[in-house]
């Protein structure tokens, strides 16, 4: 744990972290109901598979959030990308379950059987695949050591009395701009998952209109967060 970096980020962000934590709490609460209704599926094994991917995404987002606060921005970005991939995979499988004529021919059935289903194949099942491809490429560049800018996310340089000190990720670094960008993206992914619950598991939601109203409010706060905090100085001290 990098308690000093976490304390620095929490003090800097103040109440801005509360709605992010509330969003995690909402999705966690929905997850308990999702698993209850996972057997009510469009065809056998569909519901459980979608529920597992929801859980995969939530787990990675929660841990990405913790790592970002700890100053491990590179690692947080990798988990964020994993959650993004799983989100589109569960959406693709859910769409397919409404359209496929034979379970044996479906990609979901192949995946359940242990076959690798890559992102290219997932994109083929979704609308606007080129847009998703561009986003996936950008996220991959952000998390791959082949891109120097991705590796630089773990570098912090500070100057004290004309001497330059370089920190290389262990312990975590202080980078307000990168941390806030990752936190905003993590929050956005969490809200996307919440928004899809009524489609994948309608019986898991008592009042879909109320949930959507809550989510719309959170989406507005997320946009404000991204716009306001991204303008802060990367090396600001508190």
Residue keyed to tokens 């695949």 = 129
The pLDDT of residue 209 is above 60:
yes
Domain-embedded: residue 236: no
pLDDT at 42: 57
Residue 17: what pLDDT?
94
Give pLDDT tens digits for 19-64: 999 999 999 999 989 888 776 555 567 888 899 999 999 999 999 9
Helix or strand or coil: residue 156?
A: strand
Please report whether residue 196 resides in a domain.
yes
How many structural domains are present in the chain? 1
93: left (phi over 0), alpha (psi -120 to 50) or beta: alpha
Mean per-residue pLDDT over the chain, rounded: 85
Taken in order 163, 169, 173, 177, is the CA torsion positive or negative?
Answer: positive
Phi, psi (5° rounding) for residue 71? 95, 5
The model's pLDDT over 98-114, given as tens digits with 9 standing for 90+, comes to 775 555 468 888 898 89
User: Rounded to an integer, what distance in angstroms lies between the CA atom of residue 146 and that of residue 180?
Assistant: 24
Question: What's residue 128's pLDDT?
Answer: 77
Say if 238 falls within a structural domain: no
pLDDT digits over 118-156, tens only?
Answer: 988 898 888 877 888 888 888 888 788 888 887 877 777
For 10, phi then psi, to 5°, come to -65, -40
Please report the pLDDT score of residue 163 as a whole number: 59
Contact assessment for residue 93 and residue 123, using Cβ atoms and an 8 Å cutoff: no
Contacts of 44 (CB under 8 A, 6+ apart): 103
Examine residue 168 and state whether it is found in any structural domain, yes or no. yes
Across residues 71-77, what is the average pLDDT?
90
Structure tokens belonging to residue 178? 């990168």
Strands 155-160 and 163-168: antiparallel
CA-only gyration radius of the chain, Å: 20
Task: Tell me, yes or no, whether 131 lies in a domain.
Answer: yes
Q: What is the mean pLDDT of residues 186-210?
A: 95
Which domain range does residue 75 map to?
Answer: 3-229
Mean pLDDT across the stretch 224-238? Answer: 62
For residue 47, tell me if it sits in a domain: yes
Q: What is the pTM of this model?
A: 0.86
Q: What is the SS3 assignment for 160?
A: strand
Cβ-based neighbours of 211, under 8 Å, separated by 6 or more = 194, 197, 198, 205
Assigned domain for 221 exists: yes
Tokens 């690798």 found at:
116
Q: Is 176 part of a structural domain of the chain?
A: yes
**pLDDT over 90 (residue 1):** no
Cα gap 179→76, rounded to integer Å: 9
């Amino acid at each position: 744990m990098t308690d000093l970096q976490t304390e620095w980020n929490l003090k800097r962000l103040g109440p801005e972290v509360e709605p992010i934590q509330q969003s995690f709490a909402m999705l966690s609460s929905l997850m308990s109901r999702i698993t209850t209704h996972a057997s009510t599926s469009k065809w056998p094994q569909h519901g459980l598979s979608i529920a597992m991917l929801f859980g995969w995404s939530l787990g990675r987002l929660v841990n990405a959030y913790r790592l970002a606060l700890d100053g491990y921005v590179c690692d947080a970005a990798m988990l964020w990308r994993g959650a993004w991939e799983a989100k589109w995979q569960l959406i693709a499988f859910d769409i397919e379950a409404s359209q496929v004529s034979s379970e044996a021919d479906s990609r979901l059935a192949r995946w359940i059987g242990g076959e690798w289903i890559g992102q290219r194949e997932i994109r083929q099942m979704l609308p606007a695949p080129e847009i998703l491809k561009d986003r996936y490429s950008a996220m991959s560049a952000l998390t791959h050591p082949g891109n120097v800018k991705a590796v630089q996310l773990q570098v912090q340089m500070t100057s004290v009395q004309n001497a330059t000190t370089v920190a290389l990720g262990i312990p975590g670094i202080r980078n307000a701009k990168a941390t806030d960008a990752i936190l905003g993206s993590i929050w956005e992914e969490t809200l996307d998952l919440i928004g899809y619950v009524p489609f994948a598991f309608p019986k898991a939601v008592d009042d879909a209109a109320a949930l959507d109203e809550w989510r719309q409010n959170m989406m507005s706060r997320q946009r404000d967060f991204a716009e306001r905090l991204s303008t802060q100085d990367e090396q600001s001290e508190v």
